[in-house]
A = this chain, B = another copy of it.
Amino acid sequence: MPHARSGSDASTSGSTSGRTGRPRSAAADAAILAATRDALCDLGWSKLTMGDVSARAGVAKTTLYRRWAGKNELVVDAVAELFDTLELPDRGSLEADVEYVVLQFAQLLARPEARTALMAVVAESTRDEALRDRIRSAIVERQKRLVVLGRERAQARGELPYEEAGPLADRATDLIFDVIAGTVVHRALVSAEPVDELWVAAFTALLMHGLQGTAP
């Protein structure tokens, strides 16, 4: 079973895990992921090398390859950890919640390791189905929780109509997620303009009321 990441796979393989032989170092995993983020900051995606990561982590190259199939997989796991720090406290209104999550996401994208890595792995994933799945399960699907949470609160507040859980509600969740995440990413990385409060307010207003929202 090569490349079986210990962390993300809940590798609770039965009871006694793997039977014989020296067990894999748990510390190495953490060191490697941290070293990967460090290297991303210093070098960016394209100049990051497996050899450099292994050196920073104080680990042999083979140890990297025993756990990850390559740079892509490694970097996905390294940045996925960043995304898990996102939170959505109740700000009192749908509008405030949206503004908060947009800002938080923008701050994440301001980190150099996230900026450089995110688009790169997405680019790679266009030709690698396994990688695409890994990104979806490690990052995308996990962060939809923020949208779901926000909608539930808004519904509880009466700001949005109730909708039965089901494929319809899922489709709405997906759409909102694509709009928010996509727009912020585009603003931050493609347009390369700052995500400041003014812009966030304008974007939130558009989200709330649409293009015609201020029309008579």
Interface of A toward B, CB cutoff 8 Å: 44-46, 94, 112, 115-120, 122-127, 132, 135-136, 140, 159-161, 171-172, 174-179, 181-187, 189-193, 199, 202-203, 206-216
Known: A124-B46, A193-B174, A211-B160. A206 touches B186 (CB 8 A): no
As for how many copies of this chain the complex holds, the number is 4
Smallest Cβ distance from A175 to chain B, in angstroms? 6
Contact B119 A119, beta carbon cutoff 8 Å: yes
Closest to A203 in B: B175
Smallest Cβ distance from A161 to chain B, in angstroms? 6
Contact A210 B206, beta carbon cutoff 8 Å: yes
Residues of B within 8 A of A178 (CB): 183, 186-187, 190-191
Residues of B within 8 A of A136 (CB): 191-192
Report 16 cross-chain contacts, Cβ distance below 8 Å, ordered by A residue: A46-B127, A94-B211, A119-B123, A120-B123, A122-B189, A140-B190, A172-B202, A174-B191, A175-B203, A178-B187, A179-B182, A179-B186, A179-B203, A183-B183, A208-B210, A209-B212
Interface centre among A125, A161, A191, A206 (most CB of B within 10 A): A191
Residues of B within 8 A of A161 (CB): 214-216
Docked pose: A160 CA to B182 CA in angstroms: 24
Residues of B within 8 A of A94 (CB): 211
Residues of B within 8 A of A212 (CB): 159-160, 208-209
Closest to A127 in B: B44
**The residue from B115, B206, B216 contacting A179, defined by CB atoms under 8 A apart:** B206
Closest to A205 in B: B210
Smallest Cβ distance from A137 to chain B, in angstroms? 12
Docked pose: A176 CA to B215 CA in angstroms: 16
Docked pose: A44 CA to B192 CA in angstroms: 25
Docked pose: A202 CA to B168 CA in angstroms: 11
Docked pose: A117 CA to B183 CA in angstroms: 19
Contact B202 A175, beta carbon cutoff 8 Å: yes
Residues of B within 8 A of A132 (CB): 192
**The residue from B140, B179, B208, B216 contacting A183, defined by CB atoms under 8 A apart:** B179
